[in-house]
Structure 1
Amino acid sequence: MKLDNSTSGILIRTYLFGAILLVIFYAVIFYFGTSLTEDNNSMKRLAIVGEHYIIKYKDAEPKSIKINPLLTVYTDYSVLPESLQKNITKDWFGSSTFHIEHLDVEFNVLGKVIRHGEGQRVMYAVEDIDAIELEDEEVIILTATVFGGGVVLLILASAYVINSARRISKPVTELAKKLKDDEDFEPIKVDGKLSDEMLQMEEAMNTYRAKVAHAFDREKSFTRYASHELRTPMMVIKGSASILKKSTDEKVLKQVGLLRESIEEMESLVQTFLFLARDQVESDKVLIDNKLLEGMSDKFNSLKDSNNVDLNITLLEPFELNACHQLFSAALGNLIKNALNCTVGGTVNIFVSKREIKVIDNGVGLSSKPRNDEGFGVGLKIVNDICNKYQWQFSLTNNVNKGCTASVKFREANSC
């Protein structure tokens, strides 16, 4: 059974635990308090009544005088019952309770020193308290009655507390549910009568949501505007490159080729930013097959050659992925580029399946900076943003021996 960790559940458990401990504590206190009070009252009564009769018979000869069915006065130690003589010495005086084990009886005894003739003696007033004390069974029944009454009160109070706890925690639960379910950043309104603290929480939460919404809108607006503004100069540069391509100078043609590659890369980046800025996740599907992956690999031929890297891409089987072609290509492309930049004279192995993409290199790892690190980290940030958009899991870890492994795990509903 799953433990209820809601606010009401915690309040109810805390109350019940404390209340049960309190009922048990008071039942124990009542049990021992009853016995202690009973003994103290009996001893106080004996101190008053017993002393009165001791003084009254102080001149009597050694004998036992039965005052009433409970109280007996013994004028000398020699006339005390043998069972008491075993527990009391001749020179003992004062007051105490004695339990005679073999007779299973209990006596309150008052011993008082009295002048007798030219000397003194100790006289005793002995009260049989078994006749008037509550039996153990009676004490247990009385304690059980008190305990049972406490349990009944506990049940009634628990019903009230449980209802109150649920009523108090209902706004918190409703607020948490709305925060979880609402995809927009509209102000949240919790129904019902709210406490002052809850009103402050609601106001603070709405203020925070408004700030987050404003920040998101500002980021998306900037991305859209910047991307659109970049298109115009890129078109101009692309047109100029087309004109320069007509040149017969090999050096010029080489630079034109590099220029066109940079323009294509910039156009792809702008498109990626535009897709990331969209609110809704596209319902497009991209076919992941060898043709697509080979095309991705060919884009990095110059980087592979310059770093002397052997790039291997393995596709377990073709599949369709619920994602935008542009964003998937951007994610995989940035992973490949990052691995190639981190590896010199090594190997990059890429494994693609319905469940995940794994990019394994034997380069410098995460603790060192790669070559051409001016833009290092930006590509991975784009990968992370794309994964967040589609709720994929992105991770980057060091290998045991050398290099690192980048992993993107798809949602089960994303691939088919």
Structure 2
Amino acid sequence: MLDRSFSNTKTLTGHLAIFFTAVSIVVGLVSFLIFYLALQWSEDRVGERRILIDRDAAVAQFLNGANGMIQIDELTAAYNDMSLVPDDYQQYLEDKQQYLGEVGEDFNPLSHMVFKGQYTQDGEAKPIVLLTLIDRVEFGVDELIYSGVIVVLFVAGLMFTFGTILYRLSIRLIEPLNDITTQLDQEFIDVEKAFSIHPQSAQEFQLLTARLNQYRSELNLTLKREQAFARYASHELRTPLTVIKGANTLLTRSELTSFQERQIHRIQDASREMATMVDALLSIVRYERNIDDAPQREILEKEITAIIEANSAQAMSKKLDIQLSCNGSPSTRATEAVISMVLGNLLRNAIAATEHGQISVCLDKTELSITDDGAGLSDTPNEDGHGLGLLIVDDLCQRYGWEFKLSNHPQRGCTASIKFDPS
């Protein structure tokens, strides 16, 4: 229960206030109870000591000739004859040789301290009874009310003290954390705006806020550099590719030998592959902050077929068969260049790992998988992969919320799978 109450800093101040108030009330009640019991105990002990002193004075008077009932003072009367003791007190004294206690509250507004004992006169034991009107020296209702007011003031002082401590703790330890959490929990965060914190906050929160502002500033500068890269690199990288493609097209219009035709085709394939990579890398920079803003589209079978054809040159030289099975079209926000980079890299890895057999590419509504007939994963796999490497593939999958998995196939080689909807 306490763990749930104090696990949320936003409600921690209120819970602490309730806790401290409850503690103050409990401490006040316990203090009042202890004070009241101690007062009653001390009054009883004082009454007992007083009546014992009066006993000695009464015994002295009885030994000097007094008899029957004598008045020691305004409060105490002594008896050496049991028949003279008031009937209301007889019930407490009969059949008892010794008695000391406070009685009379049930039949008299004022209670008495009663003592019964014996003294010896001329070798004969005689009874002695003393009645002391103890209520006249004990605390009355007014005094108890006054003492209760003192306890209430004490509790109020405790509550004020705890409230002050709670307020100072809240300013220094709790509210700064709530302020930072509120600023971080905003739906739209202005990266240009610095985090703010109460000037009386603890030094650790001051340092935390300063570091958050520093990291936000560095992140903002990094984002601006990447945005500048996305604006300028697109032109700077595509212009040479356009020149290469144009020059290559002009070369195809002239008479060429078979060797020259092969080289022109190689240039055409390399420039197309490079253009795909450039588009994919630029899309990472352009959409890494707002992937959700990219348009939703379906990955069609013809797109997968085109990627397979563009990356099947090595498979043809190895006489490998690439089989495509399409049972659905998954939905994604990734561009065609990103899909081409991811699938192309996985295909080239599968082709490089397979010496004979076939490579299976399966596509359905939620998953894309590539299975080869290679040796499978070793104990120390090459994480760099081929080309951009599996690390880049994994990074792209993380950016778009896909689940990338590389595992051994039970009957064949290795299976690389991408789940577009991990849920």
Tell me which interval the TM-score lies in, with the shorter structure as reference length.
0.5 to 0.7
CA distance in 2, matches of 1:401, 1:170: 57
CA distance in 2, matches of 1:53, 1:318: 106
Cα deviation 1:25-57 (Å, max 9, x = unaligned): 32133224312222212312432x223312212
Q: Does 1:210 align with 2:210?
A: no
* TM-score under structure 1 length normalisation: 0.62
Tell me if structure 2 keeps the 8 A contact 1:351–1:359. Answer: yes
- Give the one of 165, 186, 189 matched to 2:192: 186
Amino acid at match of 1:25: V
Q: Does 1:25 align with 2:35?
A: no
1:249–1:24 distance in 2 versus 1, CA, 3 Å? same
CA distance in 1, matches of 2:73, 2:410: 100
**Worse-superposed segment, 231-240 or 24-33:** 231-240
Residue correspondence of structure 1 range 364-379 to structure 2 within 5 A? 368-370=379-381, 374-375=384-385, 378-379=388-389
- Give the one of 396, 405, 411 matched to 1:396: 405
- Give the one of 290, 294, 298 matched to 2:305: 294
Residue correspondence of structure 1 range 339-350 to structure 2 within 5 A? 348=360, 350=362
Tell me if structure 1 keeps the 8 A contact 2:368–2:419. Answer: yes
- Give the deviation of 1:17 after TM superposition: 1.7
**Worse-superposed segment, 175-184 or 8-17:** 175-184
1:44–1:311 distance in 2 versus 1, CA, 3 Å? farther
Q: Aligned to 2:59, what secondary structure does the other structure show?
A: coil
- Give the deviation of 1:9 after TM superposition: 1.2
Q: Aligned to 1:186, what secondary structure does the other structure show?
A: coil
Q: Aligned to 2:367, what secondary structure does the other structure show?
A: strand
Q: Does 1:266 align with 2:274?
A: yes
Aligned to 1:314: 326
Q: Which has the larger radius of gyration?
A: 2
1:52–1:352 distance in 2 versus 1, CA, 3 Å? same
CA distance in 2, matches of 1:5, 1:11: 11
- Give the one of 330, 333, 340 matched to 1:329: 340
1:32–1:173 distance in 2 versus 1, CA, 3 Å? closer
Aligned to 1:409: 421
Q: Aligned to 1:409, what secondary structure does the other structure show?
A: coil
Residue correspondence of structure 1 range 182-261 to structure 2 within 5 A? 182=188, 185-188=191-194, 190=196, 195=201, 197=203, 201-218=208-225, 225=233, 228=236, 232=240, 246-249=256-259, 253=262, 261=269
CA distance in 1, matches of 2:139, 2:387: 84
Cα deviation 1:188-208 (Å, max 9, x = unaligned): 264987757566554332222
Question: What is the identity percentage for the equivalent residue pairs of Structure 1 and Structure 2?
Answer: 17
Q: Does 1:52 align with 2:53?
A: yes
**Worse-superposed segment, 13-22 or 2-11:** 2-11
Amino acid at match of 1:185: V
Tell me if structure 1 keeps the 8 A contact 2:283–2:338. Answer: yes
CA distance in 2, matches of 1:340, 1:148: 87
CA distance in 1, matches of 2:126, 2:165: 66
CA distance in 1, matches of 2:131, 2:34: 24
**Unmatched tracts of structure 2, length 5 or more:** none
* TM-score under structure 2 length normalisation: 0.61
Aligned to 1:414: none
RMSD between superposed Cα atoms in Å: 6.3
Tell me if structure 2 keeps the 8 A contact 1:98–1:107. Answer: yes
CA distance in 2, matches of 1:51, 1:148: 38
Tell me if structure 2 keeps the 8 A contact 1:336–1:359. Answer: no
Aligned length: 395
Q: Does 1:36 align with 2:44?
A: no
Q: Aligned to 1:359, what secondary structure does the other structure show?
A: strand
1:335–1:108 distance in 2 versus 1, CA, 3 Å? farther
